[in-house]
Amino acid sequence: MDKSPFDELELFRAMANGTTLPTLTADQRAELDAWENRTLTAEEFAARVAAPWSAHELEDFTALVTWFQRRYPTAGDRLRATRQLAAQWARNTPR
């Protein structure tokens, strides 16, 4: 199974530490779009759904959820943060 050209965990860690989202070049954006929009075979999809999390992935996920719930304790806080991040992403996405 191919690996994404971008490290999602590093991105989430950066966001959790208050770092702004990265600005991608047009080539990076195209590469990421191709990766995200490709069609998975039934076998690839089943393998991803069935794959167990490693202890490191579970630890990272738990830490991120804990941080997120502390940082954004209410649904309104979460919605505001989502809207702000979406706007930031839109500003940093080359057209």
Tokens standing for 60?
């990272």
pLDDT for the residue numbered 1: 46
pTM over 0.95: no
pLDDT digits (tens, 9 = 90+) for 13-63: 777 777 776 777 889 889 988 988 999 999 999 998 899 988 988 999 999
Phi, psi of 2 (to 5 degrees): -70, 155
pLDDT digits (tens, 9 = 90+) for 66-89: 998 999 999 999 999 999 999 998
pLDDT digits (tens, 9 = 90+) for 23-35: 778 898 899 889 8
Gap between the Cα atoms of 12 and 93, Å rounded = 18
CB 20 within 8 A of CB 87: no
